[in-house]
Structures are given as C-alpha cells and as structure tokens.
Amino acid sequence: MISSIFSRYRTMSVAAKAAIWYSVCNILQKGISFLVVPLYVRLLSVSEYGQYSVFQSWRDTLIILATLNLYCGIFTKGMVDYDQDRERYASSQQGLSTVLTLGLLVVYLLGNGLWNRLLDMDTVTMLLMFAYFLFYPSLQFWSAKQRVVYRYKSMVAVTLMVSVLTPLVCLGLLHFTSLRAYAVIWGTLAAQSIVGLFFYVYIFVKGKCFFHRKYWIQALRFNVPLVPHYLSLIILGQSDRIMIKEICGESEAGIYSFVYSISMVMNVITAAINSSIVPWTYQKLKERNYAPLRSVATGCCALVTVMTFCVMLVAPEVIWILGTEEYMPAVWVIPVVALGNLCTFFYGLYSTIGFYYSKTGYVMICSLACGALNIVLNAVFLPMFGFVAAAYTTLVSYLALWCLHYAYTRKACLEQGYRISQVYNGRAMALMVGGLLLAMCGCFLVYDNFWLRYGMVAVLLAAAFLNRKKWLPMLLKSQK
C-alpha cells in the first residue's frame, strides 16, 4: 500500500505536489504553535499570558494599517499578470510596504507617549513591532512567489524553520532572563524580524526597484478598499481579548485567549477541508455543474459538525492536559467558541461563491457590519457577565455574518441564472447549527459525567467509521 502511494505521488504534477506540501506545511505550522501553548501557560501566569495575547491582537491589527496587507491578494495576482517582471514587481511592492510602515512610524513618534498609553505598551516593544512590520512582509512576499512558481521545497523548509525558531527564541529568553511576558513578545518580534530582514535585502537585490508608478497605483487601488474588510475580520476574531483586558482584566483575557489557542485544532481541520474544496468549487461553478457541490458541501458540513460536538464533549480533559487549574473556567467557553468556528466554516462556503463572482464589495459590507455588532455587544455584555459573554457575542456575530453571506450569495446566484439551493443545502446547515446549539446546552449538564461523555464520543466516532463509504468519497471527489 505504501509503495503504491509513493508511486502515485511520483506521477503527480508539480502543482499537485505543491498543493499537498502546502497543506502539510500549514498543518505542521499550526501544530507547532498549538504544542507550544501548554509551555507558555505553565511558564507564564494567567495575567502574563493575557498580556501576550493582547499584544498579538494589537500586532495583527496594526500590521494592516502599516502594510495594507500588500502580500495578500494583489501580490499573487501581480505574480501571475507580470510573470516576465516578477523580481521588479516584488521589489516595488516591498518598497511601497516600506513607505507605508515608515509613514505610520512617523505618526507614532510624533505622539509616542499617547500611543503607548492607548496600546498599553512601552517604547521598546513598539519599536520592535515596527521592525516586524518593516521586515516580516518580505517573508510573505517571498513565500507567495514560491507558491506561484511551485517551489514548494524551499518554501516549506523556510516556513517550518520560522515556526520552530520563534518558540525556541521565546523559551530561551524565558529561561535565561526575567522578562516574563516580554520574553515571549520580544522573542516573537525579534525572531521573525531577523528572518524577514534576510528576505528584505534579498528581494531588493534581485529586483533593484523601489518605486514603480504603475505597480504602486494598482496595488493601492486594490488594497485600500479592502482595509475595512481586513480590520473587520480582526475585530471579529481578536477584539474580544482587547476589550476583555480593558473591562475585566488581563487574567480573564489570558483565559479567553487560551480557549482560542485550543480552537486552532479545529481551525487546522476546517482549513484543510476548505482548501481542498475551494478550487474544485470554482471549477464546478465554471462548468455550471451544481449537483456535486451540494452533496459534497453537505457531507463536509456534517463531518465538521460531528467533530465540533466531539470537541465540546472533551473540553474538560483538553483544559486539564493543556492548561492548569487556573484555566478551568474556560470549560464554559470552549463549546461556544467551537460552535462559532462551525459558523465560520459555513459562511466560508458562501463567501467562496462571492469571491468567484467578484462580489468583494458585499464581502466588505458584511464584515464591517458584523465587526461593529461584535464591538457593541461586547461593550454591553462584558461588564454584566464577564469574559464568558465574549464567546456568546462572537457567536452571535458569526451567525449574523453567515446570514448576511447567505443573503448576498443568494442574490449573486440569481443574477447568474440559478438558485443558491442548487449549490448548498441551507436548510440542512441550519438544522446542524440548531442541533449543535441544543447539544452545547446538553454538554454543560454532563461535564461531571466522564463515562457518559466519552460513551457519546465513542458512538459518534463509530458512526463516522461505519458511514465512511458515504462521506469519504465526497472528500476524495473534491481532492481529485
């Protein structure tokens, strides 16, 4: 069997091999990040872990303003459109990113005291963060180019090196210094900035172009309108931590962030499923062959729903293994966050159709509306119910995002001459979410009964195994 797998692998095209290795790389990268979490939560106090998680939220927010996410979307398109001028294109995009970052740095230096108080960070951390904004995009520019030209070996090697180097530097600083939370914060920024610096120099040496009027204007016209969309996704995913820290305290932010670190397991699985069916979905939409889409999507949704319920059932043991006694209050948050992740998977299916028909304006409006909803709900309910409320407000926001994506996708499909029900079974999805919502409430009642919970997990896994001939071919169909 193993020899036949290797034989089949050798006959694959370069593009197919690259797709496989990119998926493996993504899983290993997220896996390493997940394995480091138990070390951080044991070496740092809950408050210090909360400080680190809030830093991550600010970093992921500010990098959008500092770089406009130029390494996303437009850069890959440029690599394809200007395939005879890739080196200059990459170099010019890096030049634009540099100007944007330095411009934001000037704004910070003009009022660094105010910004330090607003972000609750010191000047050293802020300057290290700007070094990260300056150099880290270079690694992303280089990686995007490797994907386009299918140089998967070098890209996988560098990605895994960074994934291993970053926690090693952080753990080294934690062991040999008394920096505590700053050991992880500074270690993360320093390690990734140093690697990025190498590619920063490499791209400029290869491209020898800092400014290119056509490339700069094109990039700005494409990315500036998407900034609200990018920021809204960050607000939906990470603003909770910032607001919890300000309203409830750093310890509560640490517990909540721990839950989201655990959710990376489900994110890896759903991302792998999504990455396998998106190109296939595009192909079926192009062929106007909708029936296979409906059956495969329903099967994938059912599979993810079952896995989500299993995560809900084993939440107490997950916290016990990965965390400490201080993190046990997170047991009441994990099921809610897991259900929110299911909703993100569902709305991702609909957004795929929106992107195929270039309905990016609708995507931005949906993201902005739900990001604003999340902030308002947090402002109202966090003071009343504490950090647990953030999980429920985020769940409500993701449900709203799913509904809005359904509405605009339905309109887009009608414009193309067919109904959205031909592509996705919305009624089945709604029943899955409703059923899992009831199951979530049931989980809270049986957390004290170990044998009942794991008996249910065993039944679900057995049912999945016995029905593997129904759902496994669906996944394989999209892979082919």
DSSP string of 387-426, one letter each residue: THHHHHHHHHHHHHHHHHHHHHHHHHHHHTTS-GGGT--H
CB-count burial class (<10 Å; 0-12, 13-18, 19+) for 341: buried
CB count within 10 Å of CB 416 equals 12
CB count within 10 Å of CB 407 equals 14
What would you report as the CA-atom Rg of the chain, rounded to the nearest whole angstrom? 23
Rounded to whole angstroms, how far apart are CA atoms 409 and 398?
Answer: 16
Give the tokens for residue 295: 């059956």
Give the tokens for residue 260: 């989201």
Rounded to whole angstroms, how far apart are CA atoms 415 and 406?
Answer: 14
Rounded to whole angstroms, how far apart are CA atoms 125 and 112?
Answer: 12
Phi-psi region of 288 (alpha: psi -120 to 50; beta: other; left: phi over 0): left
Residues of the chain with pLDDT under 70: 1-9, 12-13, 15-16, 18-19, 23, 73, 264, 272, 275-276, 279, 358-360, 467-480
pLDDT digits (tens, 9 = 90+) for 286-308: 888 888 888 888 888 888 888 88
Distance of CA 57 to the CA centre of its chain: 12
Contacts by residues 181-185 (CB-CB < 8 Å, ≥ 24 positions apart): 181/44, 181/48, 181/49, 181/51, 181/52, 181/55, 182/125, 184/40, 184/44, 184/52, 185/51, 185/52, 185/55, 185/125
**Dihedral angle over CA of 26, 237, 420, 418, nearest 10:** -80
pTM of the model: 0.79
What pLDDT sits at residue 479?
47
CB count within 10 Å of CB 246 equals 13
Q: Do residues 250 and 54 make contact, with C-beta atoms less than 8 angstroms apart?
A: yes
Look up residue 209 and give its amino acid: C
Rounded to whole angstroms, how far apart are CA atoms 477 and 480?
Answer: 5
Q: Do residues 254 and 47 make contact, with C-beta atoms less than 8 angstroms apart?
A: yes
What pLDDT sits at residue 478?
47
Give Cβ neighbours of residue 348 (< 8 Å, ≥ 6 apart). 270, 274
DSSP string, 180-242: THHHHHHHHHHHHHHHHHHHHHHHHHHH--S--HHHHHHHHHHHGGGHHHHHHHHHHHHHHHH
What pLDDT sits at residue 207?
93
Distance of CA 355 to the CA centre of its chain: 18
Q: Do residues 342 and 306 make contact, with C-beta atoms less than 8 angstroms apart?
A: no
Give Cβ neighbours of residue 413 (< 8 Å, ≥ 6 apart). 353, 419, 420, 422, 423
